[in-house]
Structure 1
Amino acid sequence: MNLANRITVARIFLVPVILFFLLVNLNLPPIRIESFSITYNQIIAVLIFIVAASTDSLDGYIARKRKMVTSLGMLLDPLADKLLISAVLISLVEMQKLDAWIAIVIISREFAVTGLRMVGLQQNYPIISASAWGKWKTGVQITAIIALLINNFPFTFVHVPFDLIASWVAAIITVYSGIDYFLKNKTLLELK
């Protein structure tokens, strides 16, 4: 297994670590600043999430730069992304920080696109790479998740619901990028 694929696998293994810190109560006192409050668990979880999310660009860069692009990597990379985003979104719903419908919309799009990619692989269709909208989608999803994980800091002090706005924008861009993805690969759906 090459370096890029190892980084991808590491991202997968970070998912349960993030979930542990999000969902297990360690009974540590929260940090409070005026009306703002955050637990140490959330701080640790968001830091690990940022590291895991940043490996998405890193593994792709290394694979292309060192000419290490493999079929395993092309399969694992999007799978690792979906696991990371889906697991944290579900955790945020459990923590009552995110409406379930937003998580369902985002996760449904991810399953649909992954399914289309798998159909493409089975039919030896050229690799379906992420579009600019797909990259925007990922960036906005990560931004929304971080805002939710840090309890809307620092926007909570100026009473701007940035976390809510970012969640809605993530849902809208996710749907649009999914439609764009299917339209650009509609010939794959016509193959028998």
Structure 2
Amino acid sequence: MNTANKLTLLRVILIPVFLVVLYLDFPFHMFIALMIFILASVTDFLDGYIARHYNQVTDFGKFMDPLADKVLVMAAMCWFVATARMPAWALVIVLFREFAVTALRLIAAERGRVIAAAWSGKVKTASTMVCICLMLLFRSWQLDAVCVAVIVVTTIYSGIEYFLKNRDVMDWKNM
């Protein structure tokens, strides 16, 4: 197993640790959860960099890296919904976008085409991770509202962009 895949696997292992720390109530548990989330988020950027720059791209990494990212973010967002810091409809929008873009990529792959990550998708991921960090660090309904708005807007924008730029992948006549 190469370095990039080890970092992805570390992120997968950190997800349940992150959730356990969030749900346990002990001094500084939110700060520790934040540090775990930041570490997991940094491994996301590092594993991609290492895989591309050191020729460590593997099928395992192509599958697990985006899955680990989605599970990490969804775990945090589910906790925010469970603690009434994020409305469930915001989580549904994010889930819908993730499933829709994944489906679009699967259809494209079936047709021999790869849909690379768009710039707006990278902005969505980065802004979502920053917002989650801010929400873990500070407890404020105003900040939560701003972060939810940023997450929802970037999610919707990037989802629409993926479908508009790749509308030729969909065969609307045979649906």
What is the TM-score normalised by the length of structure 1? 0.82
Could you tell me whether the CA contact under 8 Å between 2:86 and 2:144 is conserved in 1? Answer: no
Q: 1:124: Cα distance to partner?
A: 2.6
Q: 1:43: Cα distance to partner?
A: 1.0
CA distance in 2, matches of 1:184, 1:74: 22
Q: What amino acid is the match of 1:47?
A: M
Larger Rg: 1
CA distance in 1, matches of 2:142, 2:16: 29
Query: What are the within-5 Å matches in structure 2 for residues 19-34 of structure 1?
Result: 19-25=19-25, 28-29=26-27
CA distance in 2, matches of 1:121, 1:10: 28
Equivalent residue for 2:76, pick from 83, 88, 100: 88
Equivalent residue for 1:67, pick from 36, 39, 55: 55
Q: What amino acid is the match of 1:17?
A: V
Q: 1:54: Cα distance to partner?
A: 1.1
Report the aligned-residue RMSD. 1.9
SS in 1 for 2:117: coil
Equivalent residue for 2:150, pick from 160, 166, 169: 169
Q: 1:72: Cα distance to partner?
A: 2.3
Could you tell me whether the CA contact under 8 Å between 2:85 and 2:144 is conserved in 1? Answer: no
Question: Paired residue for 1:36?
Answer: none
CA distance in 1, matches of 2:143, 2:49: 30
Percent identity over paired residues: 40
Cα-to-partner distance string for 1:103-136 (whole Å, 9 max, x where unaligned): 11112211211222223333332x2221110111
Equivalent residue for 1:131, pick from 118, 134, 146: 118
CA distance in 1, matches of 2:147, 2:162: 22
Report runs of 4+ in structure 1 exceeding 3 Å deviation. none
- Structure with the higher fraction of residues in helix conformation: 2
With 73-82 and 160-169 compared, the bigger mean Cα shift is at: 160-169
Q: 1:187: Cα distance to partner?
A: 2.0
What is the TM-score normalised by the length of structure 2? 0.90
Call closer, same or farther: CA 1:118–1:24 in 2, change over 3 Å: farther
SS in 2 for 1:96: coil
Q: What amino acid is the match of 1:85?
A: V
CA distance in 1, matches of 2:59, 2:137: 36
Equivalent residue for 1:115, pick from 98, 103, 112: 103
